[in-house]
Amino acid sequence: MCGIVGYIGKKDATPILLSSLKRLEYRGYDSCGVGVVAQKDGKIHSKKTQGKIQGLTDILKDKPMPTGFVGISHTRWATHGKPTKANAHPHADKTGKILIVHNGIIENYQEIKEALKAKGYPFVSETDSEVIAHLISSLDKGDLLEAVQKAIQKLNGSFALGVISSDHPDKLIAARLGSPLIIGVGCNENFIASDVPAILDRTRKIVYLRDGEVAELQKSSLKIFDFKGKQIKPKVHTVAFKLDAVQKEGFSHFMLKEIHEQPKVLSGMLSSRIKNKKVHLEGLSLTDKQLKGINHVFVVACGTAYHAGLVGKYVIEQLAGVPVSIDVSSEFRYRTPIINKKTLIVAVSQSGETADTLAAVREAKLKGCKVISICNVVGSSLARESHGVLYTHAGPEIGVASTKAYTAQLCMMYLLGLKLGVLKKKISKGRSESLIKDLKRVPSFLMMILKSKAKIRKIARANSHFGCFLFLGRNINFPSALEGALKLKEISYIPAEGYAAGEMKHGPIALIDEYRAVVCVTPEADTYEKMISNMQEIRARKGKIIAIATEGDTAIKQHANNIIYIPSTNKLLTPLVVALPLQLIAYYIAVERGNDVDQPRNLAKSVTVE
Ligand code: G6P
């Protein structure tokens, strides 16, 4: 999704904006731009281009931007209008004095555009965002903050905004409604950005702008107001994670680095959440009595987080005996889910900014449900809007294809299942302790798999030419198959389907021939024999099989063309272990095909629009 960075201070804005904007590349974008108020002539100057930030940097090498101490920049992920230079941000008003960058969607832009056109405002782009520049201009009576405040009253939809004006070179205005925006507080300089990593090398002091707030930044002051103009005291947080967390540190891609971080993330989570052999879920903000009263869990999530939720359904139902429903967030909000005060909503999201998940949570709160979130980004909208939050603390995830956030979400599902199971007396103390012991061994299993990555790479390379993949799993590893297929299609662009193996005969078997590869998630399981039958059916039709099986399973050799072994673990915990080889298969196939692994085409890390 779009990325915003703004700067005001004593240094030349453009180099700062470009290097910070580069740190937002992971969000996904197709065009970019930068604009400043120039010191030499007091005028607005801007440059935009279709394509990558490197292209913009090259343009600026030929024709440098004049020095300016205030500026805004943007990466655009096209919604309204193609990814062209004209549609790229910043957008200017007709006088060329006001420049804006916008993330979000203005739903009533057509109506505003017609009204402004009738008054003689010319439009040069197809975007919804351009109306904002003209609207502010039409309301500007000499006070930029006031003009922005008046303009946003007229906007429907969602926005994070950065605004500068040549009439006010000492000000940078920011506003937020439904799209993420943070403020970085520096020494004689201040920043705005869509996400913390953008400005982490400049400052660790962050103010999370909330929905319905407008900020006026000057080089050494920050004022925040609500949309009605009432001033609010900014709450400054100091971000804990280090700059290393947002650098590749010798890995060829962020995705590979994040895959390698999983043992550390899981052991960190387990050591902080398990004390005296008991699960402690600080942040849950529900009393044991309230938890015991829950008779239905409803998970809402999108993408990879949805798959973590699906595993959670198997885990919580098995450990706690509570029925678990699950919807992708975009479906939940537009149907009539049966929920009430005894339903616990569990919203799962890495970013905590996914528009559909946020909308689902708001819907559920209106119906009186308690909402907890499993979330990675501290201070995100979801974390703030939930009654309780279980942070996964996996560190910033930069690769668009989610890896460490997924296994961290899975781990949290096991902990939540254990907590509920013990409280509801569905599992004994002994079973809980033994599962905790098994959970604690998972990080070392992941390390072992990482040690065999050369073999996984070889298998991935040997299969990278297949034009279509099927991923099969059963029971608790059905979601693993879905996630394996999602990872592969996200970064390799190879059509890949995830299926419950039992459903194979009801359709996907028609795909099988010698040109298809099938990844069978086949660890030790009660359904193991059934998986073997499926594999035989695939072999009989000449399909090529990559099996993920448990170390020591020699019998599988006669059924699979390639085998990736995982250490033997508790059957319930296998999704945590099989995730890693599935991620590596996708990663190495995408690398082999020469794809941009960290920024796959058309995808965005955080989907902040519907
Ligand atoms: C996008 C990302 C996925 C992610 C999904 C949900 O589609 O590309 O990797 O799983 O959003 O994001 P969330 O931040 O809510 O987990």
Clarify whether 235 is annotated catalytic: no
Give the Å distance between the CA of 153 and the centre of ligand 1: 30
Tell the residue nearest (CA) to atom 5 of ligand 1: 303
**Triad 81, 87, 89: Cα angle to 5°:** 135
Can you tell me the mean pLDDT for 572-600? 96
Which residue bears the tokens 């008046």?
150
Give the Å distance between the CA of 348 and the centre of ligand 1: 10
Give the Å distance between the CA of 409 and the centre of ligand 1: 12
Paired strand residues for 521: 548
Give the Å distance between the CA of 402 and the centre of ligand 1: 7
H/E stretch holding 604 reads none
Give the Å distance between the CA of 302 and the centre of ligand 1: 6
Bridge pairing between strands 205-208 and 469-473: unpaired
pTM of this structure: 0.87
Can you tell me the mean pLDDT for 93-100? 95
Per residue in 126-151, pLDDT (tens digit) is: 999 999 999 999 999 999 999 999 99
Which residue among 22, 113, 370, 605 is the active-site one?
A: 605
Sequence-distant contacts of 549-557: CB under 8 A, at least 24 apart: 549/522, 549/523, 550/523, 550/524, 553/522, 553/524, 556/522, 556/532
Can you tell me the mean pLDDT for 253-279? 96
Give the Å distance between the CA of 163 and the centre of ligand 1: 28
Our mutation pick for probing the ligand 1 site, out of 29, 255, 307, 349, counting the most ligand atoms within 8 A of Cβ, is 349
Q: Has residue 514 got a pLDDT over 90?
A: no
Which ligand 1 atom sits closest to the C-alpha of 382?
15
Q: Has residue 608 got a pLDDT over 90?
A: no
Q: Has residue 596 got a pLDDT over 80?
A: yes
Which ligand 1 atom sits closest to the C-alpha of 303?
10
Residues lining ligand 1, judged by CB closer than 6 Å?
302-305, 349-351, 354, 357, 400-402, 603, 605-607
Paired strand residues for 31: 50, 76
Clarify whether 2 is annotated catalytic: yes
Q: For residues 247 and 369, which has the higher predicted lDDT (pLDDT)? A: 369
Which ligand 1 atom sits closest to the C-alpha of 302?
6
Residue type, 55: G
Which ligand 1 atom sits closest to the C-alpha of 304?
10
Per residue in 442-500, pLDDT (tens digit) is: 999 999 999 999 999 999 999 999 999 999 999 999 999 999 999 999 999 999 999 99
Tell the residue nearest (CA) to atom 15 of ligand 1: 349
Can you tell me the mean pLDDT for 241-257? 85
- Give the dihedral sign, CA 494/495/499/505: negative
Give the Å distance between the CA of 11 and the centre of ligand 1: 35
* Mean pLDDT over the full length of the chain: 94
Q: Residue 20 half-sphere exposure, CB side, CA atoms within 13 Å?
A: 29
Which residue among 2, 32, 369, 411 is the active-site one?
A: 2
Phi, then psi, of 32 in degrees rounded to 5: -155, 170
Per residue in 23-56, pLDDT (tens digit) is: 998 888 899 999 999 999 999 999 999 999 999 9
Tell the residue nearest (CA) to atom 3 of ligand 1: 303
**Triad 29, 35, 37: Cα angle to 5°:** 165
According to the model, what pLDDT value does residue 70 have? 98
Question: Reduced to 3 states, what is the DSSP secondary structure of residue 475?
Answer: helix
Give the Å distance between the CA of 315 and the centre of ligand 1: 22
Q: How far apart are CA 394 and CA 351, in angstroms?
A: 11
Query: Domains in the chain, please, with CATH?
Result: 3-239 (3.60.20.10), 247-450 (3.40.50.10490), 452-602 (3.40.50.10490)
Tell the residue nearest (CA) to atom 4 of ligand 1: 303
Q: How far apart are CA 557 and CA 473, in angstroms?
A: 18
According to the model, what pLDDT value does residue 569 have? 96
Per residue in 301-333, pLDDT (tens digit) is: 999 999 999 999 999 999 999 999 999 999 998
Our mutation pick for probing the ligand 1 site, out of 377, 607, 608, 609, counting the most ligand atoms within 8 A of Cβ, is 607
Our mutation pick for probing the ligand 1 site, out of 27, 302, 329, counting the most ligand atoms within 8 A of Cβ, is 302
Question: Reduced to 3 states, what is the DSSP secondary structure of residue 75?
Answer: strand
Q: What's the DSSP call for residue 372?
A: E
Q: How far apart are CA 29 and CA 53, in angstroms?
A: 10
Categorize the per-residue pLDDT at 249 as very low, low, confident or very high, splitting at 50, 70 and 90.
confident
Our mutation pick for probing the ligand 1 site, out of 307, 350, 412, 587, counting the most ligand atoms within 8 A of Cβ, is 350
Q: Has residue 421 got a pLDDT over 90?
A: yes
Residue type, 125: S
Q: Has residue 79 got a pLDDT over 90?
A: no
Which ligand 1 atom sits closest to the C-alpha of 490?
8
Give the Å distance between the CA of 394 and the centre of ligand 1: 15
Tokens of 218: 């000057």
